[in-house]
Structure 1
C-alpha cells in the first residue's frame, strides 16, 4: 500500500509540473472601449483611463479622444498601452529552494474610428451609436525567472484589428450616462518572432496565431457621472467581457474593469 501511495504521489507531482503548474501565455487582452455618448454637434471627449483584469495581473491604460463633427457623425482616436502586466508562479525544487517564473506582457496600439449617433426616443435621452475602426500595434510576451537573469523566451508580434461597435446610451440625467455596448473585434498577428519551438507554441496555444484571425464578441457596460458645478468633467467606469468565437484555441484575458476621467474641452471653453 505504501508503494502504491508513493507512486500515486509521484504521478500527481509530475502531472502538476507538466500541466496545471505551468504559466499560461495570453495572446490577447481586450482594449478599453471608447463610447463617446454624443448628443449633438461640437461635443468633444478627452478621456484617460486605467484598467485591470479581474483574473490575473494585467494592467493597461488608454488615452482617448472624440469629436462630433455634425449632429449625427463623429470621429475617434485612441492609444492603448501596458502598465505593470505579468503573471507569476512560485515553485520549490524539493530541497527547500524556491524560485518564481514570470511571464511579462507589453502591449501597445493606436486606433482610429468613426461612427454615427441618433436619438431613438422623443425626449432625446436614449441614443443609438454605431462606430467602427482600425487599430495596429505590438504584442510582446517574455519569460523571466528569479533564478535566472534576462529573458528565457519570447513571442513578439505585430497586431492589426478591425472592430464594429453598436451601443445604446441612456442619458438619464444631465450629469449621468449609462451605455450598453456589444463590440465585435477581429485581430490578426503578423511579423512573429519567437524563441519557442513548435511544441512550446502548441502547448502555450500560440500556434493558432499564424493561421487565422481571432474574432471576439465583447459586451461592455459603461457609466459616467459628473457635477453641476463642472459640467465639462466626468468620472467614467467600465466593465468588459471578451468571448472568443469560432474553433480557435487560444489563451486570452476574458474581462477587465476600468476607471478614469473624461473631459469635454469644447464645453469647458463655453462655460468659461
Structure 2
C-alpha cells in the first residue's frame, strides 16, 4: 500500500514539475466580434480595434467594415491579425544557468458575413441582430526550442471558420449603445506543416486538431459611446469569453478585452 502511495505521489509531483516547465501552445485565439448595432438603412461602420488576452501576452487587431443595405439587412467584412504575440518561460538549473523559452504566434484571417436586424421595442431602442459568416486565414506557431526532429519548433496551418452570432442591441440614447452577443464559432485546421513529432504534438495538445473541428461558444459584451458634436465617431470597447465544447483536448485563449474607434462615413458625409 505504501509503495502504491509513493508511486502516485511521485507521478503527481513529476507531472506538476513537468507541466510547470512546459510552455503551452495555443491552437486558437478568438477574433474581435463584429457587432454593427445598426438601426436603419444606409448606416455604415468602419472599426479599428486592438485586443489583448487577459491571460498571457497575445495581442491582436481587427479592421472591420459593415453597411446596412436595407432597413433590415446588412453586409460585413473584416481583417484580423496578430500584433506582438508571444509567451515566455524562464527556467534555472541548479548551477544558476537560466534559459528563456519563447513561443510566438502569427495569426491572420479575413471574414465575410451578412445578417438581419429588427427592432423589438416600440420606441426602437432595442434591436435583435443575427449575423453569420465565413472566414479563412493562417495559424502559425513557432518556438526557439530544439525539437526531437531537430531545429526550432513550428506548427503552421491554414484555417477556415464559420460563425453564427445572435445579439440584442440597446440604444438608450443617440450616442450610446450596449450589446450583449453570443457567437458560435466552428474552426478547422488544414495543410498542417510541423516538425513536432507525435509525442510533442500530444504534449502541446495539437494532435487532435488535424482531425476535428473546434466548436466554441463565445459570449461577448460590446459598448460604444460618442459625442453630440461628432455623431459619426465613437469609442468602442468589447469583452469576450471563449468556451470550447466537445471532447477535443487542446489549449486556447479563453478571453480578451479590446478597445478601438468606430466611424460612420455615410453619416459624416451627410453631416458635412
Displacement of 1:97 in angstroms is: 1.1
2:165 aligned partner: 165
Pairing 1:213-224 to 2, within 5 Å after superposition: 213-224=213-224
d(CA) in 2 for partners of 1:121 and 1:246?
37
1:267 aligned partner: 267
Displacement of 1:178 in angstroms is: 0.2
Partner-residue secondary structure (3-state), 1:143: strand
Displacement of 1:18 in angstroms is: 2.1
Partner-residue secondary structure (3-state), 1:27: strand
Matched, 1:256 2:261: no
d(CA) in 2 for partners of 1:12 and 1:68?
57
Partner-residue secondary structure (3-state), 2:249: coil
d(CA) in 2 for partners of 1:91 and 1:28?
26
Pairing 1:120-159 to 2, within 5 Å after superposition: 120-144=120-144, 152-159=152-159
1:20 aligned partner: 20
Matched, 1:40 2:40: yes
Pairing 1:1-272 to 2, within 5 Å after superposition: 15-144=15-144, 152-272=152-272
Q: Deviations over 1:203-237 (max 9, x none)?
A: 11101111110000000000000000000000000
Normalised to the residue count of structure 1, the TM-score between the two structures is 0.93
Partner-residue secondary structure (3-state), 2:71: coil
Q: Is the alpha carbon distance of 1:152 and 1:169 closer, same or farther for their aligned partners in structure 2, counting shifts above 3 Å?
A: same
Displacement of 1:93 in angstroms is: 2.1
Structure 1 unaligned blocks of 5 or more: 1-9, 146-150
d(CA) in 2 for partners of 1:78 and 1:197?
35
Structure 1 stretches of 4+ with a deviation exceeding 3 A read: 10-17
Partner-residue secondary structure (3-state), 2:25: coil
d(CA) in 2 for partners of 1:246 and 1:217?
11
Partner-residue secondary structure (3-state), 2:28: coil
d(CA) in 2 for partners of 1:172 and 1:111?
30
Aligned length: 263
Structure 2 unaligned blocks of 5 or more: 1-9, 146-150
2:4 aligned partner: none
CA RMSD of aligned residues (A): 2.0
Q: Deviations over 1:56-108 (max 9, x none)?
A: 00000000000000000000000000000011100112211111001100000
Displacement of 1:20 in angstroms is: 2.1
Partner-residue secondary structure (3-state), 1:191: strand
d(CA) in 2 for partners of 1:204 and 1:116?
40
d(CA) in 1 for partners of 2:15 and 2:95?
19
Normalised to the residue count of structure 2, the TM-score between the two structures is 0.93
d(CA) in 1 for partners of 2:14 and 2:121?
62
Displacement of 1:31 in angstroms is: 0.4
